[in-house]
């Protein structure tokens, strides 16, 4: 008996020992792949069992397995599952999960074209905004609003839907390159951006990257202020989508639906997005509405080739907001639309379609991208694109009989281009990039009748046509304008001319990288052809002299990694950049004459240096820059309604500006559930020397003679030289968070026709606070779907501030005629007061 008990004890001990030996301890830390932030509550399961644990707030886990060897599966909503093997006690270290059924989980097509700064080892001054932040904070705003909490960026809201703009290091957005999946989208004639044409781009944005200054652009024609890269969805790896409903202040509503099939076994994928928005607008009588559509078809026949066809557009109309005198706004409030009282419209029409003008536009954009992995060392990316812009700015006017009609200033275009880039590793240390940038653009500009209001026709005359009658309308539908065949010369009035602009250039970059040192040299050569044909105000069609300008740019830089956490870099560049098309020709819409003497290339010199520190709990970027922009042709206006007799436009020829500054951006995580970001930008932007100024009326006819104006050491207006801000994101509970941001703007000056006798005026400094609240509920059998709730409040404390001023009048001797030191007679716009939007989104 005693022996039997001993045997049983021994057997049990052996079994327990064997079981203990068969067990293992597997440990690791799970992080987000982009932010390197820990992911709490991640599921870690031993394959073939129900044995599992969850990560703690620091992303750590420790799993006692039931066997000595096997596999674990790590899963988390919004990320791809990851399977890892273990044998015995195993430390898996840092584990980064790939994003799954979210906006960030895409195959980026045209990847060799898209100018993401991470593609180069030598750094540039850059800030990146990811899809998750865009999705939450975009609300019903345009892109510039999302970028305002980055160094040296200021957003100007404008007044109506899509009328916002941004400044980068003191340069307006005409001199910042905006790219959509590698495709340039600034206007070919003048570099302008009309955000009303891109109202849906944030719905499909995967990321937005702001490269300040020299940047890493792969275009043959470089910008001055920097480059903003908008990377959209193209091919989703997995099936999924979302439906979202948003409402906001002033009866704003927006409905959006997106679905993607994912990539099937044969390599095909399909994705589409449809949306509709409408609202009354914050400013009086600035209602609008529009749609968004996005279609993508991808095909991956094998691992070496990826093809994608994309079509997107945002047809819209919105009533415009004008600038008025500061005194008028103070009397009537920030929402006042100063163009309400033009002396033309009757009250019933003011409150209808044309309070101060109506913008109608539709710009379908299509591109075909092809990524080819040639071999282990080489690849080729090519994007072929095209767009057909159709639309007008319509405003009320009267015919000779005193009857109202809506007159349109139509700006149509046909734009096609190709960007291609070849990358090859010449050796372990040398990489070569070479590419081409080709664009051709046909701009079609004329006036016509948007719609008749009380009559069926009007009588007109021109040198080309003599006396004639217009009885056809172009319509008020942005959809209809694209397919409107009513484009005959006999239905046009006032002016009618076309432009053909062709760009073609070559780009090349050689980068060296070994150990802690990297360096690059970049060069580009381009040519631009310009031609104008006016067939309306001459006895026969009149064609301008063809203008061809050659330009080039050179960039070089080097970086040194002091250690894993510290890196320093320096970059330099020189551009000989062709002037915009609109700056080559006489400003008169009825002319084909070149400016005499001819406008030469702009000369731009850029220097910048930076320091980057990267730690687990704290990281920072510090940049210093100095940009000299010489021989610039600067167009501006006095801010008046273009339909009024007081409107004036100006051209300053031979203008020189010097922009210098420092930028600091910091990121920290003082607590596990608290993220804090801060930035500070200090700039000094001045004009140098003198300019030759030309003045024009609303029809583009020059008034008086050219005059020399001394502008030396005057302040460059438009944007604040000193900006700063702090943003915080606090996770109250898992998937329930609160975020807020404070932005401050100081040392801002007015725009306009300035001189030493009438210098730009100084605007009062201001700051705003925004806040948001997010909650995500996991739903579905496997908790793989979710419902997201979001609330945004902008300008929480209803700050009253001037966002822009057009004028040079100093403060009046009578204090009652001033507003915070500015003469009330100056024209400008006040910023928006408190606004809000809230949304519910179902992800599946």
- Average pLDDT for consecutive 10-residue bins of the chain (844 residues)? 42 39 81 71 80 80 88 75 86 78 45 56 78 81 88 90 92 89 86 87 83 76 82 77 95 95 89 95 91 93 90 92 86 79 44 73 93 91 93 84 84 94 91 93 91 84 82 87 72 87 93 90 93 80 86 93 91 92 73 70 94 86 95 78 72 91 93 91 95 81 86 94 96 92 96 86 96 91 86 96 88 86 91 96 92
CA atoms within 13 A on the CB side of 655: 23
Nearest to 435 by CA among 739, 637, 216, 200: 216
| pLDDT at site 17 | 40
| Gap between the Cα atoms of 85 and 68, Å rounded | 11
| pLDDT at site 344 | 44
Q: What is the pTM assigned to this prediction?
A: 0.82
| Gap between the Cα atoms of 163 and 658, Å rounded | 28
Using alpha carbons only, how large is the chain's radius of gyration in Å? 30
| pLDDT at site 349 | 47
| Gap between the Cα atoms of 424 and 315, Å rounded | 41
| pLDDT at site 485 | 61
The domains of the chain are located at 2-96, 106-232, 235-843
| Gap between the Cα atoms of 303 and 382, Å rounded | 17
Nearest to 372 by CA among 315, 333, 424: 424
| pLDDT at site 15 | 38
| Gap between the Cα atoms of 27 and 36, Å rounded | 18
Fold of the CATH domain 106-232: Ferric Hydroxamate Uptake Protein; Chain A, domain 1 (2.170.130)
CATH architecture of the domain with residue range 2-96: Sandwich (2.60)
CATH architecture of the domain with residue range 235-843: Beta Barrel (2.40)
| pLDDT at site 181 | 82
């Amino acid at each position: 008996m005693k022996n039997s008990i001993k045997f049983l004890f021994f057997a049990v001990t052996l079994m327990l020992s064997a079981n203990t030996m068969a067990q293992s301890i597997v440990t690791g830390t799970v992080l987000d792949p982009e932010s390197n932030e820990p992911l709490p509550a991640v599921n870690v399961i031993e394959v073939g069992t129900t044995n599992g644990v969850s990560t703690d707030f620091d992303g750590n886990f420790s799993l006692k397995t039931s066997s000595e060897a096997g596999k674990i599966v790590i899963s988390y909503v919004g990320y791809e599952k990851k399977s890892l093997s273990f044998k015995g006690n195993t430390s898996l270290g840092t584990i980064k999960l790939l994003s799954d059924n979210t906006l960030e989980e895409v195959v980026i097509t045209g990847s060799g074209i898209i100018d993401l700064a991470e593609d180069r080892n030598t750094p540039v001054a850059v800030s990146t905004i990811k899809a998750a932040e865009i999705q939450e904070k975009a609300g019903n705003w345009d892109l510039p609003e999302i970028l305002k909490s980055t160094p040296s960026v200021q957003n100007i809201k404008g007044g109506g839907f899509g009328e916002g703009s941004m400044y980068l290091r003191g340069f307006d957005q005409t001199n910042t390159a905006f790219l959509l999946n590698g495709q340039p989208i600034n206007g070919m004639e003048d570099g302008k951006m009309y955000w009303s044409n891109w109202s849906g781009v944030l719905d499909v944005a995967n990321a937005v990257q702001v490269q300040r200054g020299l940047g890493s652009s792969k275009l043959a024609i470089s910008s001055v202020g920097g480059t903003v890269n908008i990377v959209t969805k193209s091919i989703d790896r997995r099936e999924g989508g979302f439906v979202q409903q948003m409402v906001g202040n002033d009866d704003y509503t927006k409905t959006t639906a997106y679905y993607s099939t994912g990539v099937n076994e044969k390599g095909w994928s399909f994705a589409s997005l449809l949306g509709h928005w409408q609202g009354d607008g914050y400013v009086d009588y600035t209602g609008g509405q529009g749609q968004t559509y996005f279609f993508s078809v991808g095909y991956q026949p094998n691992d070496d080739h990826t093809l994608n066809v994309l079509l997107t557009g945002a047809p819209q109309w919105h009533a415009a907001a004008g600038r008025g005198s500061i005194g008028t706004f103070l009397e009537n409030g920030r929402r006042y639309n100063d163009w309400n009282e033009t002396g033309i419209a009757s009250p019933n029409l003011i409150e209808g379609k044309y309070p101060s003008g109506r913008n109608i536009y539709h710009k379908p954009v299509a591109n075909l991208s092809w990524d080819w992995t040639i071999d282990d060392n080489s690849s080729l990316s090519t994007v072929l694109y095209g767009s057909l812009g159709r639309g007008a700015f319509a405003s009320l006017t009267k015919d000779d009989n005193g009857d109202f009609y809506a007159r349109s200033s139509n700006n149509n275009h046909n734009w096609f281009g190709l960007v291609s880039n070849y990358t090859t590793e010449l050796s372990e240390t040398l990489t070569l990039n070479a590419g081409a940038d080709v664009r051709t653009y046909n701009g079609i500009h004329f006036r016509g009748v948007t719609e008749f209001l009380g009559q069926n026709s009007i009588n007109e005359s021109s040198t080309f046509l003599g006396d004639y009658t217009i009885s056809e309308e172009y319509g008020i539908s942005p959809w209809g304008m694209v397919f409107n065949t009513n484009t005959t010369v006999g239905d046009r009035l006032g002016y009618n001319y076309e432009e053909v602009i062709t760009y073609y250039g070559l780009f090349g970059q050689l980068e060296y990288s070994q150990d802690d040192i990297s360096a690059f040299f970049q060069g580009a050569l381009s040519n631009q052809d310009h031609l104008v044909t006016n067939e309306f105000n001459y006895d026969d069609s009149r064609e301008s002299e063809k203008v061809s300008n050659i330009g080039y740019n050179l960039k070089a830089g080097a970086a040194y990694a002091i250690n894993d956490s510290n890196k320093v870099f320096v970059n330099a560049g020189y551009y000989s950049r062709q002037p915009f098309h609109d700056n080559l020709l006489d400003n008169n819409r009825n002319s084909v004459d070149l400016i005499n003497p001819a406008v030469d290339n702009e000369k731009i010199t850029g220097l910048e240096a930076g320091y980057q520190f990267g730690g687990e709990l704290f990281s920072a970027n510090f940049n210093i820059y100095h940009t000299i922009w010489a021989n610039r042709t600067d167009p501006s206006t006095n801010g008046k309604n273009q339909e009024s007799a007081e409107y004036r436009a100006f051209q300053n020829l031979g203008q020189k500006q010097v922009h210098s500054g420092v930028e600091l951006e910091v990121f920290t995580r003082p607590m596990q559930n608290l993220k804090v970001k801060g930035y500070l930008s200090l700039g000094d932007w001045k004009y140098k020397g003198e300019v030759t100024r030309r003045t024009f009326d609303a029809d583009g006819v020059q008034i008086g003679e050219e005059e020399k104006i001394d502008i030396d050491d005057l302040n460059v207006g438009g944007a604040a030289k000193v900006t700063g801000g702090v943003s915080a994101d606090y996770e109250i509970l898992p998937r329930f968070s609160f975020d807020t941001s404070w932005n401050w703007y100081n040392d801002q000056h007015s725009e306009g026709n300035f001189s030493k006798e009438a210098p730009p005026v100084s605007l009062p400094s201001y700051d705003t606070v925004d806040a948001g609240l997010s909650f995500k509920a996991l739903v579905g059998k496997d908790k793989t779907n979710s419902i997201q709730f979001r609330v945004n409040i902008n300008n929480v404390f209803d700050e009253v501030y001037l966002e822009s001023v057009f004028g040079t009048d100093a403060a009046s001797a009578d204090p009652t005629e001033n507003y915070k030191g500015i003469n009330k007679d100056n024209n400008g716009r006040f910023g928006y007061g408190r606004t809000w939007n809230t949304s519910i989104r179902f992800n599946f």
